[in-house]
Structure 1
Amino acid sequence: MQPRSRGGGRVRRPSRGAVAVAKLRRGVHSRPPTKEEPIPATLRSLQTRVFALTWLSYASYYLVRKNYAVTKTSLEGQLDLSPELLGAVDTVYLAMYALGQFINGALGDRVGARRMLAFGMMGTSLVGFVMGIGQTGLVFAIAWGVNGLFQSTGWPNNVRAMAPWFSRDARGAVMGIWCTNYQVGGLVATALATFLVAHVGWRWAFFAPSMWVAAFGGILLVFLVERPKDAGLAPLDPDRAAAPPRAAPFREMMRIKRLWALGAAYFGLKLIRYTLLFWLPYYLEKSLGYDQETAGYASTSFEVGGVLGVVLVGWMSNRWSTNRSKLIAPILFALAAALFLYQWVGAAGLVPNVLVMALVGFMLFGPDALISGAAAQDIGGPDAAASAAGIINGLGSIGGILSGVVPAFVAASMGWDAVFYLFVVVALISAGIMAYLALAPPPAHARRR
C-alpha cells in the first residue's frame, strides 16, 4: 500500500534520480563503486586531478635535482672547483636524501601529503636560488645537502597522496603509468638545464627551474585533495577505512619485516639503476670506443626500455594485487639474465648493445616502480603510505650512495666486466628476496578482501 499523509493524501516518494541528486548535493556516496559499476563523474574528475598534480609534482622535483650534474663542467671551469669536490657534493646530497626519506615519510603521515609537498617544493626552489648565486664549494656542499632533505619529501608524500584514490585492484596499472614521472622528469630536466647553460649561463640553470617548482608548490597547496572523504566521497578501500587510525604509523611500519625485505631488494635495484644512469655513457665511450655523442644517445636506451617496463609490468601486476612479489621475482631473475647477456653481446655492435640495454631497462624499472610505489601503498594503506614508501626508498637510496663508489672501485681494480658480473649477483640476490616473499603467506592486509 502507498503511504498516506495526515490529511489522507498519498505521499509522493522521491524518484531515484532525485535521491542521487540530493546525495551529490550533500557530497555523500554511501559506498565505493564496484568493478561492474561505472566510476562516478565526480570521483573520476578528482582522480584525474590528483594523478596529474602528483605526476607533475614529482617530475618537477627533478628540475632542481638533475641540473647540478649538467652544470658541473661550468662550475669546474668558472669557479675552479675540483672534480673531487664536485663528487663530494653529490655524496652529501645522496646521504641526506636517504636520511630524509625516513624523516619525511614519517612526517607525511602525520602532517599530510599536501602540506609536505608544498613545503618540499618551495624549499628545494629556495636551495636552487642559493645554488645560482653560490661562489664557493662550501656553499654548494651545504646547500645541495639541504636540497637532499627537501627533495626527499617528494616520493613518499606523492605516493601517499595517490594511495586513497585508487583501489588495490587498479593500483598496479595506475601506478605503472604514474611512475613514468621520474623518467620523463629526469629527461626533461637534463634537456632544460643543458639548454639554459648553453644559452643564458649556468646560474639560470638553477634560477629558472626554481621559479617553476616554487609556483607549482603553491598550485599543489591550493588544488590537491588528499582523500575522497575530503570531497564527501566514500573511501575506495572500505576495510582499511573502517580500521582505527594508526597512532604511530611510522613505528608500526618499521616493525613490518616484509617492508624491510622490500627495502633490501630495492637496495640492489637502486645500486644497479643509479650506476647505469651515471656511468653508462662513460662505459660506452671509454670501454667500447663510442664517440661522446653516440655514447650519450645509446645510453638513453636504458630509460626508454624502462618507460615501457614500468607501464606494462604495472598493468600486469593487477592480477597479482594480493602479492605482487609473484610477478616481481621472475622479472628480476630475467634482469640478471639480461645483464649477463649484455656483457656478452654489448660489444658486438651498436644495435645489439642498444636492444639488450633496453631489455635491461625494461626488466629493472618495472619491478623498481612496483616495489617503491604500489607495494608500499599496499602495505601502508592511505594512512601510512608515506612511511612505507619512505622506508623502502630510504633503504634503496643507500644503494644509490654506493653507486658512486663501488662501480668505480671494481672497474679500476678488476675491469668493467667485473662490474656487470657484480650486477648479475646483485640482481639474483634481489630476485631471491622477492621469491621468498612470493612464497610466504600474503600479509594480513591482502587477505582482508
Structure 2
Amino acid sequence: MTGHVSTAVNEDTCLSREQQLWRIKILVSTYFGYAGFYLVRKVFTICKSTLAAPVEEGGYGMGFEAVANIWTAYLVAYMLGMFISSFIGRKWGPRVLLLGGLGLSMVCNIVFGFANSYTTFLVFMFFNGLVQAAGWPGTVGAVSEWLRKNERGTIMGFWSTNYVVGNIVVKNLGGFLLATCSINYGGYMGVRYSFLGCTLLAFAIWWLLFFWQRNKPQDLGLAPIVDLEQKADRSVTASLAERVTFRQYLDLLLNPVVPLMGCCYFCVKFLRYALDSWLPTFLDLQGMDIGRAAYYSAIFDYAGLAGAIVAGVALDRLFKGRWERVCLLMGLGTVAGYLAVARFGANPYALAFTYGLVGFMLYGPDTLLCGAGSVIVAGERNAVAVAGIVNGMGSIGPIVQEQIIGRLMGGRDPLQAVRLSNLLGLSISVFFVIFMAFIAWQVVRLRKRQG
C-alpha cells in the first residue's frame, strides 16, 4: 500500500496552461466516455421486439418473458458489479475501470452481434452488467481530482448530462441501423448491425479515453489541483492513500453516512426508473392517446435535466458545498410534486406537467448523491468508492419497482392502479426526505464536533 503523503494545495491559485488544457481533455473524454458505456448497454432495449418476435416473422423467437429475464439478469449483475467496481476503482484507480469496463463491454456486444440463442444472451448479458457497473464510479473518480471545491457542483451539474447524450446517440444510431438493415436484410441482420455499429463507435471513444484520460495531474508530472487535506466539508473519515486495503475499504463501506446515502439513492432510482418505465402507460390510461403519452412523458426528462444543472449551480453559489441541504430541499420539492400529481391526477395534461415538477426536483439529488456529493463526503480520492457503493445500493431500486408496479397494475381498474402507483411514489419520496433529514442531522453533529 502506498503511504500517505501530504497533498496540501492552495485552491485559490490560478491553474497553469497545462493544467487547464488537460482538465478540458479529462472532462471531454469522461463525458463521452460514459456516453460510450451507453452505446454498449442500451442497444438491447431497442432490439427487444425483434428478439421476442417469432422466427417466421423475422425475429429470434425468444418471447417477451425470455427477453425480460435477460434484462433482469443485467440489472442484478449491474447492482452487484457496483460494489466490485467501487473496490477495484479505489484500489487501482478510475482508469482501470474505464478502459477495462468499456473494453470488456464491447466484447460482450460483439458476442451479441453474432449470437442466436437465449442462453448466450443471458450469460453474456449478466457479464455485461458486471462490467457496465465500472462506468459511473470510474467517470466520477476520473474527474474528482481535477475539479476544485468552489466549481465542482456547477461543472458536474452540466457534465452529468453525459448519460442523456449516450441515450440519444444509441437510440438514433442503433435505431437507424436496426430499422434500415431489418428492411433491407431482415430482422436478424438489423439486430446484428445495431449491436456491431454502436460497438464500433464505442471503440473510437475507448481510444479517446486512452489518450485523454489520466487519474490525476501528478500522473502527467503536473502539480495537484485540489487540496486532498481539506476536511471542512467531509462527513466520513477515510484513508487518503493512493491505494487502500480491503479493511480500509470496509471501513468506508460501513460508515453510517455512506449506507444512508445508498438508501436515499435507492429511493431516487426507484422513482426515476418507475417513471421512465411507466409514465407513458400512466398517461395513456388516464385518457391520453399513446402517441401523445410518449411525447408528454418526455417533460419529466427535460425538466429533470434542468433540475440537475440548477442543483449543481446552487451547490456552489448558494449552499457553498452543503450537498445534503440541496438534496433535502429538493426532496421536499419531490414530495410537493407528488402531492400535485395526486391533486391533478384526473387531467392527463396537468398530470404530465406535475410529473415535470417531480422530474425537476428528483434529478438534482440523483446527480448530487452519486456525483458531487460522493466527492465531498469522503474526499476526492475516495469518490470512486463512495459513488460505487451508493449506486450499488441504489440499483436495487429499478429491479424492485418493476415488479411492484407491475403487480399494482395487474388485475385492477386502470385508474385505480395509476392512483395506487402514485401513492407508492409519494410514500417513497417521503422515505427519501426522512433518510436525507437523518444525513443532514448527522453532518451537522459531525461539523460541530470538528469545530
Q: TM-score, normalised by structure 1?
A: 0.87
**What's 1:247 paired with?**
244
Q: CA contact under 8 A between 2:228 and 2:379: conserved in structure 1?
A: no
Deviations 1:323-356 (A, max 9, x none): 3111211211110121221233244243x23322
Unaligned runs of at least 5 residues, structure 1? 1-29
For structure 1, which segment, 305-314 or 112-121, has the greater mean C-alpha deviation from structure 2 after superposition?
112-121
TM alignment of 1:12-411, pairs within 5 A:
32=9, 34-35=11-12, 37-77=13-53, 78-200=59-181, 201-231=190-220, 232-239=222-229, 244-245=241-242, 247-248=244-245, 249-285=248-284, 287-318=285-316, 319-350=318-349, 352-411=350-409
Q: Any idea what SS the aligned residue of 1:404 has?
A: helix
Relative distance call for 1:243 and 1:369 in structure 2 (3 A) is: closer
Q: Give 1:301's aligned amino acid.
A: I
Query: Does residue 425 of structure 1 match 2:401?
Result: no
Q: Give 1:361's aligned amino acid.
A: G
Q: Give 2:441's aligned amino acid.
A: L
Q: Any idea what SS the aligned residue of 1:57 has?
A: helix
Q: CA contact under 8 A between 1:239 and 1:448: conserved in structure 2?
A: no
Q: Any idea what SS the aligned residue of 1:320 has?
A: coil
For structure 1, which segment, 218-227 or 154-163, has the greater mean C-alpha deviation from structure 2 after superposition?
218-227
Deviations 1:24-56 (A, max 9, x none): xxxxxx975544x54332222222111111111
Return the alpha-carbon distance in structure 2 between the equivalents of residues 354 and 378 of structure 1. Answer: 35
Give the root-mean-square deviation of aligned CA atoms. 2.3
For structure 1, which segment, 330-339 or 234-243, has the greater mean C-alpha deviation from structure 2 after superposition?
234-243
Q: Give 2:140's aligned amino acid.
A: V
Return the alpha-carbon distance in structure 2 between the equivalents of residues 55 and 353 of structure 1. Answer: 33
Relative distance call for 1:243 and 1:399 in structure 2 (3 A) is: closer
Q: Any idea what SS the aligned residue of 1:342 has?
A: helix
Return the alpha-carbon distance in structure 2 between the equivalents of residues 100 and 164 of structure 1. Answer: 24
**What's 1:19 paired with?**
none
Return the alpha-carbon distance in structure 1 between the equivalents of residues 334 and 23 of structure 2. Answer: 33
Deviations 1:412-442 (A, max 9, x none): 2561210110110101111111112222244
Report the CA distance between 1:299 and its aligned residue.
Answer: 1.4
Q: Any idea what SS the aligned residue of 1:236 has?
A: coil
Deviations 1:238-280 (A, max 9, x none): 4159955563352231121101101001101101111111121
Identity of aligned residues (%): 27
Return the alpha-carbon distance in structure 2 between the equivalents of residues 448 and 163 of structure 1. Answer: 24
Q: Any idea what SS the aligned residue of 2:150 has?
A: helix
Unaligned runs of at least 5 residues, structure 2? 1-6, 54-58, 182-189, 232-238
Q: Give 1:344's aligned amino acid.
A: R
Deviations 1:108-155 (A, max 9, x none): 111221122111111111111111212111111111111101110100
Report the CA distance between 1:234 and its aligned residue.
Answer: 2.6
**What's 1:16 paired with?**
none
Q: Any idea what SS the aligned residue of 1:405 has?
A: helix
Relative distance call for 1:322 and 1:295 in structure 2 (3 A) is: closer
Return the alpha-carbon distance in structure 2 between the equivalents of residues 303 and 251 of structure 1. Answer: 36
**What's 2:184 paired with?**
none
Return the alpha-carbon distance in structure 1 between the equivalents of residues 133 and 256 of structure 2. Answer: 23
For structure 1, which segment, 201-210 or 150-159, has the greater mean C-alpha deviation from structure 2 after superposition?
201-210
